[in-house]
Amino acid sequence: MRRTKVAQIYKKTGNLTAVQLLLGHTKMDSTVRYLGVELEDALAISASVEI
């Protein structure tokens, strides 16, 4: 259930940083591998989210 919930959060928001924090990962690479997304796609989405 943990993976499903964060995968849904990622799909709806595109916010990898939020997912990373929710999972407690220290490295973005770990989060990307956990979600099974391509690194380039993940970085592009992350860069497009303004803070």
Q: Whole-prediction pTM value?
A: 0.68
Over the stretch 35-44, which tens digit does the pLDDT of each residue have? 887 777 777 7
pLDDT of residue 27: 92
Per-residue three-class SS string for the chain: CHHHHHHHHHHHHCCHHHHHHHHCCCCHHHHHHHHCCCHHHHHHHHHHCCC
With a CB cutoff of 8 Å and minimum separation 6, the contacts of 23 are: 2, 6, 30, 31, 34
Over the stretch 9-33, which tens digit does the pLDDT of each residue have? 888 888 889 999 999 999 988 888 8
Phi, psi of 29 (to 5 degrees): -60, -40
Torsion of CA 1, 28, 9, 5, to 10 degrees: 0
pLDDT of residue 1: 59
